């Protein structure tokens, strides 16, 4: 096979440059026709199993499993075009070079090399685009997870604050209960004192009622004595006697208490 240099960058049109041929190597042993099927099968296996290798690689397995619609599987047309290009290239290397020198087929070799590079580049760009979309999706999901994590932290902080506030509220409630218990005991004591005061007031009222009854009786007795005294005085004024002892006997019956 001719020795070629490895291309490194795209040209101004966005295509891989044609691979130059080392013209110092003009005498190239031809491929035998028996080797063509082997080369074609080897190229087919090497090229068309690359997608399975990509899908089973450890770097991209997680993204494909979690995002199965992110990757765009190469179309049948692209794969057929690549296969056709590879077969044309291997056919040229097998048949045409055996008929003439590499120098005489320089333009054809350059064109086939460019077509092969373009086919590989197109699939590579599609794969890179899919990888970028996948990474963008992963980035969005990571951003969403970070946002959810911040929300969870905020909820956790809110829950902690609520617990602290509830603790303070429980302390305040316990303090209020203690104050209510103290007030209850004070009310019980005041009620006991009030009941005792009411009992004393009833005793005093009984004594007052007794004093009132005795006063009424005293007034009644006094009135009776006054009336009796008036009656005696009237009789005294009516009686004319010379003996004062008779008068004293009459007045001795008056109750002077």
User: 119 in a domain, yes or no?
Assistant: yes
User: 127 in a domain, yes or no?
Assistant: yes
User: 2 in a domain, yes or no?
Assistant: yes
Between residues 7 and 32, which one has the greater pLDDT? 32
User: 156 in a domain, yes or no?
Assistant: yes
pLDDT in tens, 121-155: 777 777 778 788 888 888 888 888 888 888 999 89
- Residue 116: predicted pLDDT: 72
Average pLDDT (238-250) is 59
DSSP 43-106: HHHHHHTHHHHHHTSHHHHHHHHH-TTTS-PPPHHHHHHHHHHHHHHHHIIIIIHHHS-TTTTH
User: 227 in a domain, yes or no?
Assistant: no
Average pLDDT (52-68) is 43
What is the C-alpha separation between 240 and 247, in angstroms, rounded?
9
Band the pLDDT of 90: cuts 50, 70, 90: low
- Residue 206: predicted pLDDT: 92
User: 23 in a domain, yes or no?
Assistant: yes
Band the pLDDT of 58: cuts 50, 70, 90: very low
Tell me the CA distances in angstroms from 11 to 57, 103, 208, one per residue in order.
31, 24, 130
Q: Longest C-alpha distance within the chain, in Å? A: 205
- Whole-model pTM: value is 0.30
In whole angstroms, what separates CA 171 from the centre of its chain? 27
User: 46 in a domain, yes or no?
Assistant: yes
- Residue 109: predicted pLDDT: 67
Predicted confidence (pLDDT) at residue 254 exceeds the cutoff of 60: no
Residues 70 and 130 sit within 8 Å (Cβ to Cβ): yes
Average pLDDT (64-79) is 51
Structure tokens of 71? 């990757």
pLDDT in tens, 167-219: 888 888 888 898 889 999 989 998 899 999 999 999 999 999 999 999 999 98
Q: Give me the domain span that covers residue 57.
A: 1-202
- Residue 103: predicted pLDDT: 54
User: 73 in a domain, yes or no?
Assistant: yes
Predicted confidence (pLDDT) at residue 64 exceeds the cutoff of 50: no
How many domains is the chain built from? 1
């Amino acid at each position: 096979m001719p020795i070629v240099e490895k291309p490194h960058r795209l040209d101004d049109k966005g295509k891989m440059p044609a691979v130059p041929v080392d013209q110092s190597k003009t005498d190239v042993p031809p491929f035998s026709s028996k080797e063509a099927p082997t080369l074609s099968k080897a190229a087919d296996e090497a090229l068309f199993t690359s997608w399975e290798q990509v899908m089973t690689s450890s770097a991209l397995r997680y993204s494909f499993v979690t995002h199965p619609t992110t990757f765009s599987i190469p179309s049948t047309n692209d794969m057929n075009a690549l296969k056709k290009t590879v077969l044309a290239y291997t056919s040229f290397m097998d048949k045409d070079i055996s008929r003439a020198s590499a120098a005489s087929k320089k333009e054809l070799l350059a064109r086939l090399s460019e077509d092969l590079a373009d086919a590989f580049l197109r699939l590579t760009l599609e794969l890179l685009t899919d990888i970028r979309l996948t990474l963008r999706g992963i980035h969005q999901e990571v951003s969403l997870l970070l946002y959810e994590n911040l929300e969870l932290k905020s909820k956790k902080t809110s829950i902690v604050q609520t617990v602290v506030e509830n603790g303070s509220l429980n302390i305040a409630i316990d303090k209020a209960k203690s104050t209510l218990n103290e007030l209850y005991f004070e009310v019980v004591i005041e009620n006991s004192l009030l009941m005792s005061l009411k009992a004393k007031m009833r005793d005093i009222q009984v004594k007052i009622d007794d004093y009132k009854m005795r006063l009424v009786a005293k007034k009644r007795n006094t009135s009776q004595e006054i009336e009796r005294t008036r009656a005696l005085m009237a009789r005294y004024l009516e009686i004319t006697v010379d003996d004062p002892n008779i008068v004293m006997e009459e007045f001795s019956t008056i109750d002077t208490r």
